[in-house]
């Protein structure tokens, strides 16, 4: 992609585009985005039939002289549906005509639960939504709570959060690479991807104490300072991963069978992705450079150097290549955090939010009461409402909290990127082969815990 004269001329009208210094990655001049519905209605790729309506077709006498379509069920128990996604497929032979994603098999009412938990307990709840990237859930919940509280998190806490999130992005994308390989037949990739993911999780375990569902990022900062020797552990990891990624390139990117399975499959345009609300690698695969870390920076992403990776065709291969490249970008960010980790406190010293240090409890009655109050009653959050979003490995992960001034959120809503992204499935699978459907599901990388919540 080069910046053409037309783009440069237009740049004067779009001052925001001039903000970035990454010339190649400025937001490309947009074609007029005609309201998506017109496009989508024409395609008619979403099947909107209930169970009962579908079941009623069973009684219809079939006439062998008339061409008919078949309705087939795929999932929820299927190795390549990534958990419990179920698809109702209308097939014309081997060709997919319409699709209906059926979800809810993992619904556990986490938003309702969130109304019963204090703000301090909240991260334990939200961390279980996107279980492949739990730290992002904790982060977005904490950021929203802090916005309502009006507290400023110390610099060190911000950088620890950034370190953890980028490590988590690496582990999440490595999980994708592993399962994507397996889904399209490169089964050995599962072992390699899992191996590197496990190394990443080991570092996260070293820092947070847990491999998954860390509950480490909390309103006011993080749960503890990084442990001694974290630099070595992280340093070894980011030394080890890049050569392994080169091996993946040999195993997957350079392999003709793998490319044939993904290239040109599941194509989506930028207009469709925007109309359907798709974010993250799906949107970026269409060539639309939109990454919250760069475009609406949070934490300290405006102080680190990294590239936003975009595709050009919007197909499954682009989505794979973007995620592979994003692991490298995350390593770049982690390396910068390693060099520049600021000294200071790992949580805000605000008596209303922070429990007193353990040593104080032994000598001060007030500290004991204070500690007890924070962990039983919780801290009160001023009335108001806030929406914050972060760039999770799957797209815009948003959290909307309404506070009524008590210690529990009045309403806690999480905008899961997978939940919205799943709507692109019918459009990407339309007119493809049923075998390609597996590649498409895999490339959307839905995490059902976040879809169903």
Partner 1 sequence: MGDADAARSDGDRPDPAPSGPEPICGAPVTVALGETTVHPNRDELVGVVRSLRDDGWLMCLDVTAVDHLANAAIRTLPEGVEPERFEVVVVLISHERRERLRIKVQVPADDPTVPSLFEVHPGTEALEREVFDLFGIAFDGHPDLTRILMPEDWDGHPLRKDYAVGRIPVQFKGDPGPR
Rounded to a whole number of angstroms, the minimum distance from the CB of residue 297 to partner 1 is 5
Q: Report, in Å, the least distance between residue 65 CB and partner 1.
A: 32
**Is residue 189 within 8 Å of 451, Cβ to Cβ?**
no
The whole-angstrom separation of Cα 362 and Cα 331 is: 42
The pair of three-digit structure tokens given for residue 270, joined into one six-digit string: 């930028």
Q: Nearest CA to 399 among 212, 137, 152? A: 137
Tokens linked to 352: 């209303």
Asked if residues 403 and 144 have their Cβ atoms less than 8 Å apart, the reply is no
Eight-class DSSP state of 405 = S
Tokens 């639960």 belong to 113
Contact 137, 370 (CB under 8 A): no
**Min CB(46)–partner 1 separation in Å:** 8
Q: For 100, list phi and psi in degrees, rounded to 5.
A: -130, 115
Who contacts 130 (Cβ-Cβ below 8 Å, separation ≥6)? 136, 137, 392, 394, 397, 416, 418, 447, 449, 450
Q: Which is nearer to partner 1, 19 or 224 (CB)?
A: 19
Q: How far is the CB of 233 from partner 1 (least distance, A)?
A: 30
Name the token pair of 12.
């004067």
Minimum Å gap between C-beta 18 and partner 1 is: 8
Look at residues 271, 265, 263, 266 and name the one whose alpha carbon lies nearest to residue 42.
271
Residues 444, 282 contacting (CB under 8 angstroms): yes
HSE (CB half, 13 Å, CA atoms) of 117? 17
Give min distance, CB of 268 to partner 1, in A: 12
Minimum CB separation from partner 1 for residue 36, in Å?
Answer: 5
List of residues contacting partner 1 (CB under 8 A): 14, 16, 18-21, 27, 33, 35-37, 40, 46, 48, 50-51, 103-104, 107, 109, 111-113, 116, 147-148, 274-279, 290, 295-298, 302-303, 383-387, 389, 396, 398, 400, 402-405, 410-411, 413, 415, 419-420, 422-423, 452-453
CB of 300 to partner 1, least distance (A): 10
Sequence-ordered alpha helix ranges (H) in 297-447: 316-340, 358-363, 365-376, 417-421, 425-429, 434-444
Closest to 173 (Cα-Cα) out of 309, 342, 47: 309
Q: Which residues contact 167 (CB under 8 A, 6 or more apart)?
A: 200, 203, 204, 234, 237, 330, 334
The least CB distance from residue 80 to partner 1, in Å, is 21
Helices (H) and strands (E) in the chain, counts: 20, 8
């Amino acid at each position: 992609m080069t910046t053409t004269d037309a783009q440069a001329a237009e740049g004067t009208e779009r001052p925001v585009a001039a903000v970035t210094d990454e010339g190649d990655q400025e937001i490309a001049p947009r074609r007029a985005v005609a309201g998506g519905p017109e496009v989508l209605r024409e395609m008619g790729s979403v099947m909107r039939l209930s169970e009962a309506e579908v079941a009623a077709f069973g009684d219809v006498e079939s006439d062998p002289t008339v061409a008919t379509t078949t309705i087939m069920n795929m999932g929820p128990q299927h190795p390549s549906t990534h958990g419990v996604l179920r698809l109702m497929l209308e097939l014309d032979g081997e060709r997919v005509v319409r699709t209906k994603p059926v979800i809810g098999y993992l619904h556990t009412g986490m938003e309702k639960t969130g109304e019963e938990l204090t703000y301090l307990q909240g991260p334990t709840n939200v961390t279980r939504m996107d279980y492949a990237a739990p730290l992002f859930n904790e982060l977005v919940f904490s950021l929203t709570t802090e916005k309502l509280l009006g507290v400023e998190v110390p610099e060190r806490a911000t950088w620890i959060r950034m370190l953890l999130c980028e490590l988590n992005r690496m582990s999440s994308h490595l999980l994708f690479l592993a399962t994507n390989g397996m889904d399209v037949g490169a089964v050995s990739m599962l072992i390699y991807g899992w191996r590197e993911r496990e190394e990443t999780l080991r570092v996260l375990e070293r820092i947070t104490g847990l491999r998954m569902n860390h509950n480490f990022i909390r309103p006011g900062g993080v749960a503890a300072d990084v442990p001694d020797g974290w630099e070595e552990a992280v340093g070894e990891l980011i030394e080890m991963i890049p050569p392994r990624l080169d091996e993946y390139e040999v195993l997957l990117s350079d392999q003709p069978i793998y490319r044939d399975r993904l290239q040109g499959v599941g194509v989506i345009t930028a207009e469709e992705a925007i109309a359907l609300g798709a974010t993250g690698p799906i949107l970026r695969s269409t060539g639309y450079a939109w990454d919250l870390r760069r475009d609406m920076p949070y934490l300290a992403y405006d102080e680190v150097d990294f590239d936003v990776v975009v595709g050009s065709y919007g197909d499954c291969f682009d989505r794979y290549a973007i995620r592979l490249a994003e692991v490298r970008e995350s390593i770049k960010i982690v390396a910068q955090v390693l060099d520049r980790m600021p000294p200071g406190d790992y949580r805000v010293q605000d008596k209303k939010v922070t429990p007193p240090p353990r040593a104080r409890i032994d000598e001060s009655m007030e500290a004991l009461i204070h500690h007890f109050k924070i962990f039983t009653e919780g801290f009160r959050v001023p009335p108001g409402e806030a929406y914050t979003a972060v760039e999770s490995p799957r797209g815009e992960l948003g959290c909307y909290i309404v506070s009524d001034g008590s210690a529990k959120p009045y309403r806690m809503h999480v905008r899961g990127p997978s939940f919205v992204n799943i709507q692109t499935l019918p459009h990407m699978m339309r007119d493809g082969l049923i075998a390609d459907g597996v590649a498409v599901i895999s490339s959307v990388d839905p995490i059902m815990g976040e879809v169903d919540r």
